[in-house]
Amino acid sequence: MTTERLNNEASGGGSKCWSASNRRWPVGKIVEGVARPDTLTPADRYQELFVDVQMSRVFEDSKTFVDCVPLKDPEEILDVYRQRCFERNFDLPAFVDEHFAVQQLPPDCFNAEPERTLEEHIESLWPVLTRRPQENPPLCSILPLPCDFLVPGGRFTELYYWDSYFILLGLLGSEYARRNDLLQSVADNFAYLIDVYGHIPNGNRTYYLSRSQPPLFSMIVELLEGSEVCEAMDYLPHLRLEYAWWMDGAGELRPGDAHRRAVRMPDGAILNRYWDDRDSPREESYAEDVLTARRSHRPVHEVYRDLRAGAESGWDFSSRWLDDPEDISTIRTTGILPVDLNCFLLNLETTIARLSERKGDGVLAEDFRQRAAQRRAAIDQWFWSESEGAFFDYDWQKQTQRENLTAATVTPLFVGCASDIQAGRVAEIITARMLAPGGISTTEFSNTGEQWDRPNGWAPLHWMAVQGFSDYGHNELAHTVAHRWLLIVSEIFEAESKMVEKYILRPTTEHATGGEYPLQDGFGWTNGVVARLLREHPEDPATACRAGRRL
């Protein structure tokens, strides 16, 4: 079945149903009662003003400006800038302050009240992290959504794709979420984005529309259906549309060729990579990307594309994507086939097959069963290392497996496509090489300056490891990982009364560093994973942790 046919059949030729309540939105319609965003991204809208603001560092964080709200019509602001920018004493920061409003929450809004337990603090954060689309300011970069949504926290004031799955893990046990109908809203918002834009973007900002993030929508609807929140069948058209988007152009590829996110291997198998449809600096990290590209010997547009693709991976950034682990200008994300991305797409294929069978469409179900079987065989063929006993990414341009062992090796266990023997060997190599005092190391490279490397640890990787090892019967290792992660999280909570984005994987109150911005408070996916683990491990000492009190 071609990608074009998948698109046509999934869309039904007209407006698309996005939820069980049978509400419909024609493509492109703005949600009623929600402010209209700017039709252009900030870089396209403000042109030389945008470049001047970002490159002169009016704001310390490049993301601040792209999230600002214009106080006048954007075209008028640009016209005034062009009239005034050559004045002798022109003050760019003052001009920006006059014409834009910064949208930021005070950092202390994420702090726990005295004597609150860790679980109580997480529950209290859900309202703080909830956003209502009707409150969106007009003519800025935030995209409308039909339902309330949750943001990660800190500088991240919009919905994020793969973050939402891990946030949902905690929301499923939240009374606040039930009272405010936030659970089905997660799926409905994503269905709406697929209807309007053809895919789920990185986040609901105009500057994120050229890329997605790890495709976990199939897991989201499965999780919600398992908790009797919604019917997964209602989202089958959207799952098929998302699949068609990731597989665009795959049917026309010859062995060794690639188009957007699809790559055909020498044996004819189709695998996927991360990509971005733009090859310019990321708008939210504009100055950083320009400086990175200047250090590279490659054409700048290639560096920009690989940086953007690295952002689509969610691992932004890591030695995982670099030729030189200590030099981000050597990034080659689009040349690497990630094991976790292909596992997530395998889950999407099996979900479509299962739901199609339930719908009574045996032909489509068989088609996707075959697709899933072919991908599963390709995962074994191209990602599994028998000599190492682990799954590694594959460099399709250099035609060799990557040597960098990463926590992504647990993903085949998480989606259930590893054999029992493979799972046992992954458990052994994780125990020997990746297990840290605070949980699972992200990679084996330390002090690279990138936040997805040692010594940092991240909530989503711990959840996938705990679930993967548990599903294959490695319960002691799963419990060890969960326990160590909870203790590290509680260490910071006891010392500072807050949840944060990432953690150093050893007993310390030192903050995790690396990457393009300081450590962020909040924090959505940490809250979700920790809340779920505390419910599943009530005997863990972290359940007794209170703000400002050491165990």
Please, what are the domains in the chain? Answer: 3-246 (1.50.10.10), 404-551 (no CATH)
Q: Say if CB 349 and CB 359 are below 8 A apart.
A: no
Calculate mean pLDDT across residues 390-418: 98
- What pLDDT digit, counting tens, does each position of 47-93 carry? 999 999 999 999 999 999 999 999 999 999 999 999 999 999 999 99
Q: Give the pTM.
A: 0.94
User: Is residue 9 over pLDDT 70?
Assistant: no
Strands (E), 397-469: 400-401, 435-436, 439-440, 456-457
Quote the CA–CA distance of 284 and 282 in Å, as a whole number. Answer: 6
Cα angle 471, 422, 528; round to 5: 35
Task: Report the 10 Å Cβ neighbour count for 360.
Answer: 8
Instruction: List, as one string, the DSSP characters of 336-375.
Output: EE-HHHHHHHHHHHHHHHHHHHHHT-HHHHHHHHHHHHHH
| pLDDT top residue among 32 and 362 | 362
pLDDT tens, position by position, 263-275: 999 999 999 999 9
H helix or E strand, kind and range, residue 164: helix 161-171
Among 5-9, 292-296, 433-437, whose mean pLDDT is lowest?
5-9
Instruction: Give the chain's end-to-end CA distance (angstroms, integer).
Output: 59
Give the pLDDT of residue 549.
63
Q: What is the DSSP track for 289-327?
A: HHHHHHH-SS-HHHHHHHHHHHHHHS--S-GGGBSSTT-
Tokens standing for 348? 């999407």
Contact 289, 281 (CB under 8 A): yes
Q: Is the pLDDT of residue 4 over 60?
A: no
pLDDT of residue 539: 84
Residue among 397, 272, 443, 248 at smallest CA distance from 341? 272
Q: Which two tokens stand for residue 375?
A: 């991908």
The confidence score (pLDDT) of residue 482 equals: 97
Beta-bridge partner residues of 394: 337, 401
φ/ψ (deg, to 5) at 16: -115, 135
Q: The tokens 């793969």 sit on which residue?
A: 162
Q: Do 545 and 476 touch, CB atoms closer than 8 A?
A: no
Q: How confident is the model at residue 509 (pLDDT cuts 50, 70, 90)?
A: confident
3-state secondary structure of 439: strand
Here the tokens at position 124 are 């209290």
* Residue among 201, 150, 146 at smallest CA distance from 174: 150
Residues 6+ apart with CB under 8 A from 297: none
What is the maximum alpha-carbon separation in the chain?
72
Alpha helices in 109-148 (DSSP H): 118-129
Beta bridge partners of 259: 262
Spatial CB neighbours of 59, under 8 Å, sequence gap ≥ 6 = 53, 65, 102
Residue 538: other Cβ atoms inside 10 A: 8
Q: Is 403 an active-site residue?
A: no
What pLDDT, on the 0 to 100 scale, is given for residue 30? 58
- From the candidates 119, 148, 289, 501, which is the catalytic residue? 501
Q: Is residue 340 within 8 Å of residue 463, measured between CB atoms?
A: no
How far is the CA of 189 from the CAs of 63, 149, 241, 293, in angstroms?
A: 23, 8, 15, 35
Helix axes 92-99, 74-84, angle to 10 degrees: 160
Rounded-to-integer distance, Cα 59 and Cα 75, Å: 22
Residue-level length of the chain: 551
* Phi, psi of 341, deg, nearest 5: -55, -45
With a pLDDT cut of 90, the percent of the chain lying above it is: 89
pLDDT at 23: 47
Average pLDDT of the chain is: 93
Q: What span, in angstroms and rounded, lies between the C-alpha atoms of 2 and 371? A: 12
Tell me the C-alpha distance between 331 and 298, whole Å.
10
Q: What is the distance between the alpha carbons of residues 519 and 525, in angstroms, rounded to a whole number?
A: 14
**For the segment 87-130, what is each residue's pLDDT rounded down to a tens digit?**
999 999 999 999 999 988 887 899 999 889 999 999 999 999 99
Question: CB–CB of 429/444 below 8 Å?
Answer: no
Residue among 316, 349, 450, 540 flagged as catalytic: 316
If you search the block for the tokens 């964080």, which residue do you land on?
Answer: 61
Confidence band, pLDDT 50/70/90 cuts, at residue 544: confident
What b-and-e string marks burial along 286-311, b requiring 16 or more CB atoms within 10 Å of the CB? bbbbbebbeebeeebebbbbbbbbbb
Is it the case that residue 14 has pLDDT exceeding 50? no
Catalytic site residue 420?
no
What's the pLDDT score for residue 112?
A: 94
- Contact between residue 171 and residue 165 where contact means Cβ atoms under 8 Å apart: no
Mean pLDDT of 240-269: 98
